Amino acid sequence: MDWEQSVMAMRADGYRVAVVGATGNVGREMLTILDERAFPVKEVVALASSRSVGREVSFGEDAVLKVRDLATFDFTGVDIALSSPGAKVSAAFAPRAAAAGCVVIDNTSHFRMDPDVPLVVPEVNPEAIARFRKRHIIANPNCSTIQMVVALKPLHDAFKIKRVVVSTYQSVSGAGKEAMDELFNQTKGIYVNQPATDFQEIFTKQIAFNVIPHIDVFMDDGATKEEWKMAVETNKILDPDIRVHANCARVPVFCGHSEYVSIETEQPITDAAARKVLQNAPGIVVVDHRANEGYVTPVECAGEDAVYVSRLRKDRTVDNGLSFWCVADNLRKGAALNAVQIAEVLARDYLDA
């Protein structure tokens, strides 16, 4: 392939990988993480809508990739597509890519609850990846679900969780670059006495210096779809018998989702026992000191791969209760990193280079 057309990565052996939605927040992060983790790529193609064709995105320090048109791209010969273009776009292109023999790892909501599509967090249910062959599509869960189930998995294995109540404090980056711009412009405008409504397009209310208890659309029972996602995705990934009640809010933070999680377990649980279990679990860093600065906030987790757990303590309102605080970079572990980790397991255990 010609360098100007192909966006070829300078690797000798490996897989042909397409990144769909390459100009968005998550797509750019996918390219960064592929390079950081030295994923075995032979070629990388950056794909997006026709309006982004010809734009350049970086792959590592040395490669600059020219964006190609998703609508006309032929996926024949592509091994893996890491996809984050929006649910409607995925619904149209993913089956086409899969029919060409490409395995699509999709970050949108479209395929998550399809019974024939595995929904995967590698630290929690990597064995589910084996079911990719039915549709050649693997779904990446919702960002807030991912960090929660990473923390819940070792606790469920040790103490068997019966019920979860979670309240989320989700950053604006989860709603895309335009949402980040809205927070920035509203904040700047308020300091020079401009109305926040002059910069209000993405969110239903002012986001600067505010908290909005509303993410995604409202459903008939009063929950938002984000809250519904956290419940049904946890059941599909971890255990269908766990009862989950979620409360999701958007906060004026640029990057990093925070969650307060309260669990009720079948087996007796203490904060000390839970701390020990979590300290030995993959993908988790416990920072839990009962002192000033003895916990992690979104500022500290930005750019990091781990799910950070803090504020472990007994919930004495139930027989076997525990509460904790967890934070993670929603663009990394909550999206791009999780997708790349799925690709790593897929390549290692199921595909031939």
> What's the pLDDT band for 3 if we cut at 50, 70, 90?
very low
Q: Are residues 108 and 202 in the same domain?
A: no
- Extract the annotated binding site for NADP(+): 23-26, 51-52, 173-174, 330
The span from the CA of 152 to the CA of 140, in Å, is 17
Q: How many domains does the chain have?
A: 2
Catalytic position from the list 102, 255, 257, 301:
257
User: If you average pLDDT over residues 273-285, what whole number do you get?
Assistant: 98
Q: Are residues 135 and 209 in the same domain?
A: no
Q: What is the CATH number of the domain that holds 201?
A: 3.30.360.10
> What's the pLDDT band for 6 if we cut at 50, 70, 90?
very low
Q: Are residues 116 and 153 in the same domain?
A: no
> What's the pLDDT band for 61 if we cut at 50, 70, 90?
confident
What pLDDT does residue 60 have?
A: 87
What pLDDT does residue 119 have?
A: 98
pLDDT tens digit sequence for 294-315: 999 999 999 999 999 999 999 9
What pLDDT does residue 9 have?
A: 40
What pLDDT does residue 249 have?
A: 98
Q: Are residues 51 and 72 in the same domain?
A: yes
Q: Which two tokens stand for residue 219?
A: 């459903």
Q: Which residue type, as a one-letter code, is found at position 123?
A: E
What pLDDT does residue 12 have?
A: 52
Q: Are residues 149 and 137 in the same domain?
A: no
Would the pLDDT of 252 be above 80? yes
Residue 116: how many CB atoms within 10 A of its CB?
10
Q: Are residues 184 and 306 in the same domain?
A: yes
Q: What is the DSSP letter of 12?
A: S
Catalytic position from the list 102, 110, 136, 143:
143
Collapsed DSSP state (helix, strand, coil) of residue 233? helix
User: If you average pLDDT over residues 263-270, what whole number do you get?
Assistant: 98
Concatenated DSSP letters of 132-151: GGGTTEEE---HHHHHHHHH
pLDDT tens digit sequence for 153-211: 999 999 999 999 999 999 999 999 999 999 999 999 999 999 999 999 999 999 999 99
Q: Are residues 157 and 279 in the same domain?
A: yes
Cβ burial, residue 318 (10 Å; 0-12/13-18/19+): middle
Q: Are residues 132 and 51 in the same domain?
A: yes
Q: What is the DSSP letter of 22?
A: T
What pLDDT does residue 289 have?
A: 97
- Extract the annotated binding site for phosphate: 112
Q: Are residues 131 and 170 in the same domain?
A: no
Concatenated DSSP letters of 304-351: --SEEEEEEEE-TTSTTEEEEEEEE-TTIIIIIHHHHHHHHHHHHHT-
Q: Which two tokens stand for residue 224?
A: 């938002």
Q: Are residues 8 and 20 in the same domain?
A: yes
Q: Are residues 244 and 137 in the same domain?
A: no
Q: What is the CATH number of the domain that holds 52?
A: 3.40.50.720
Q: Which two tokens stand for residue 302?
A: 């930005």
Q: Which residue type, as a one-letter code, is found at position 245?
A: H
Active site residue 143: yes
What pLDDT does residue 2 have?
A: 31
- Extract the annotated binding site for substrate: 170, 250
Q: Look over the chain and give the mean of its residue pLDDT values, rounded to a whole number.
A: 95
What domain range is 177 assigned to?
144-330
Phi first, then psi, for residue 4 (nearest 5°) are -65, -30
- Extract the annotated binding site: 23-26, 51-52, 112, 170, 173-174, 250, 330
Would the pLDDT of 105 be above 50? yes
Q: Which residue type, as a one-letter code, is found at position 87?
A: A
Active site residue 326: no
Report whether 331 contacts 24 (CB < 8 A): no
Would the pLDDT of 253 be above 50? yes
Q: Are residues 170 and 218 in the same domain?
A: yes
Cα angle 132-329-113, degrees, rounded to a multiple of 5? 30
What pLDDT does residue 209 have?
A: 98
